[in-house]
Amino acid sequence: MEKKVFLKRIYHRDRWRLALIFDFDEKLKEKVRTIPGCTFSSSHSCFYVDDTEENLRIILSTLKGDADIDISAIRKEEIGDSGSGEGKKFKDKGERTDRDNEKEPAQINEASRKDIEKYRRWLEAARYPESTINTYTSMLERFLLFVSPKSAAECNSDDLVRIVDEFIIPNGLSHSYQNQMISSVKKFYSTIYRSVIDPGAFTRPRPVHRLPNVLSKGEVKRILDSVVNEKHRVMLSLAYGCGLRRSEVLDMGIADIDRDRRLIHIRQSKGFRDRLVPVSEKLIGMVDQYLVHYKPAKYLFEGQQRGRCYSEASLEKVFRAAFDRAGIRKKGVTLHGLRHSYATHLLESGTDIRYIQVLLGHKSSRTTEIYTHVTTHSIQNIRSPF
């Protein structure tokens, strides 16, 4: 049976992409990875490239003979022979698509630019995390691009309804994207333009309840065993062995490990909270051996530049490569899945959920209680009536 790859357009990271969707196949996956600029998206669970005519032709040429390419989900403008590099244009200059008709000017006016900067300064003064500041300001910029040439002061609640109905839903953007858009615009108008839009007029999408992606202990072991690089193995081991977030692994200082008490001091993590988490003797030994070999200056894990922490994107790639080498076929598992697995395995071993809440740094016990839905401790003991 011939392998099949489905192409479709997705809107990802503020631009259009060509997504490659196919059933798991190691050889085909390696072939897809050879496509220039091809990246894996954990949120969409697929590989993607920028949506350009040239990239489409590269995909068709690269996968020719290895898979049947289904382009029925994208625009069916005539395409010439994929292997020759010649053929007709992907889109005639005189022909317009729905995306050409989208109201999305390349630039916003100066007044809107000043509003965005004013919003950024307010978020910084309120001590929001840098990631939240970047998300909120980019969402506001997207909103102001959509309503342009109207200024922020001329908008009302109907404009937020329009961006949901005419931009977010037609482009298949996620519930979380819609929520972030509403949160950003709501906060902007409640702080910068208090008298313009009634924040209470904004309605949010119905909540989506998803269970966390959890790995078994055997799968975690396979992932860690597949890592050859010592630094990478220690990073992933700490993420699982202490239930750490990505940022907590990367922001960790050399002095944050208390070897006598076998504790790690997590400083100013999510919500600007400190906490202590236990670390095993074996993990401390791995860290000490790593320090002898790598000799970092400031952060426990540093990148190519001494004194600067390892990048988030690189750590995600490390996990993805180890996950693929381990041959695990579960979908949607990211680096954060190691933290989910840590909490679930603690719960299955009988640890009180209130202690798990403290170890994970959750403000509310309701956040921690989601792990009761994925633990196999009790579920597997239920006898099916079948």
Active-site residue set = 245, 270, 336, 339, 362, 371
- Residue pair 32/44 in contact (Cβ under 8 Å)? The answer is no
- Residue pair 240/342 in contact (Cβ under 8 Å)? The answer is yes
Give the whole-angstrom CA distance, residue 148 versus residue 142. Answer: 10
Query: Rounded to the nearest 5 degrees, what angle is found at the Cα of 360, between the Cα atoms of 359 and 365?
Result: 100
Give the whole-angstrom CA distance, residue 8 versus residue 46. Answer: 11
Three-class secondary structure of residue 169 per DSSP = coil
- Residue pair 236/224 in contact (Cβ under 8 Å)? The answer is yes
Q: What does DSSP assign to residue 85?
A: S
Give the whole-angstrom CA distance, residue 189 versus residue 155. Answer: 10
- Residue pair 31/66 in contact (Cβ under 8 Å)? The answer is yes
- Residue pair 99/82 in contact (Cβ under 8 Å)? The answer is no
Integer CA distances (angstroms), 125 to 114, 122, 273, in order? 16, 5, 18
- Residue pair 44/12 in contact (Cβ under 8 Å)? The answer is yes
Give the whole-angstrom CA distance, residue 356 versus residue 369. Answer: 10
Q: Find the radius of gyration of the CA atoms of the chain.
A: 24
First vs last Cα of the chain: how many Å apart?
35
Give the whole-angstrom CA distance, residue 211 versus residue 50. Answer: 31
As a whole number of angstroms, the longest Cα–Cα distance in the chain is 73
